[in-house]
Amino acid sequence: MPCFLRHPLIALLAILLVPKLLADSWIYPEGPKVVHSTDGSHRFTYTPAKRHTVRVPAHTVPNTASNTATAAASPGETPESLKCLGHLERLEGPQFTTVWRAPLVNPVNPLNALVSNDGTRVITFDTWFGVGKDPIVIYGPRGELIRRHTLESLDLNRFTEWGSDGHEGALIDQSVSSIYWNSSAEMILDDSSGILVIRLHWGHFLGIRLSDGSLLKEEQLPAALRHKTTEAARAKVLRKINSESPHERSAGARQAGLCHFEEFIPRLEELLKDDSFITYTRSTWVNNNPKPVDSHVRAFEVRKAAFRALRTLGRSPAPIVEEEQIKDAPLDRKGQPSLAP
End-of-domain residue from the set 241, 273, 288? 241
Tell me, rounded to whole angstroms, the distance of Cα 196 from its chain centroid. 17
Whether 11 is in a domain gets the answer: yes
Domains contained in the chain, number = 2
Asked if the model's pLDDT at residue 33 lies above 50, the reply is: yes
Q: Are residues 173 and 260 in the same domain?
A: no
The average pLDDT across 221-242 equals 97
Residue 282, classed as helix, strand or coil, is strand
Cα dihedral value 169, 171, 176, 181, nearest 10: 180
Query: Both 60 and 209 in a single domain?
Result: yes
Q: Strand, coil or helix: what is 264?
A: helix
Q: Examine residue 188 and state whether it is found in any structural domain, yes or no.
A: yes
Q: How far is CA 175 from CA 15, 33, 85, in A?
A: 18, 25, 27
Opening angle at CA 134, ends 154 and 89, nearest 5: 115
Q: Is residue 340 part of a domain?
A: no
If asked whether residues 230 and 281 sit together in one domain, one would say no
Tell me which residue of 199, 263, 255, 203 sits closest to 225, measured CA to CA. Answer: 199
Q: According to the model, what pLDDT value does residue 81 have? A: 65
pTM of the model: 0.81
Last residue of one domain, picked from the residues 211, 241, 271: 241
Q: Same domain for 206 and 296?
A: no
What is the tens place of the pLDDT at every residue in 243-279?
Answer: 999 999 999 999 999 999 999 999 999 999 999 999 8
- Phi/psi at 6 (5° precision): -90, 145
Residues 197 and 177 in one domain: yes
Secondary structure class of 98 (helix, strand, coil): strand
Residues 82 and 15 in one domain: yes
Task: Work out the average pLDDT over 44-48.
Answer: 97
Mean pLDDT in residue range 46-57: 82
| Cα–Cα distance, 258 to 225 (Å, whole number) | 20
144 and 72 fall within a common domain: yes
Q: How confident is the model at residue 333 (pLDDT cuts 50, 70, 90)?
A: very low
Q: Is 223 helix (H, G, I), strand (E, B) or coil?
A: helix
The domain of 223 spans: 3-241
235 with 279, same domain: the answer is no
H-helix or E-strand containing 79?
helix 79-82
Sign of the torsion angle spanned by Cα atoms 171, 218, 206, 156: negative
Tell whether 282 and 308 lie within a shared domain: yes
> Do 128 and 31 belong to one domain?
yes
Using the 3D structure, point to which of 209, 241, 273 is the last residue of a domain.
Answer: 241
Helix (H, G, I), strand (E, B) or coil at 10: strand
Domain membership flag for residue 274: yes
Are 232 and 254 within one domain?
no
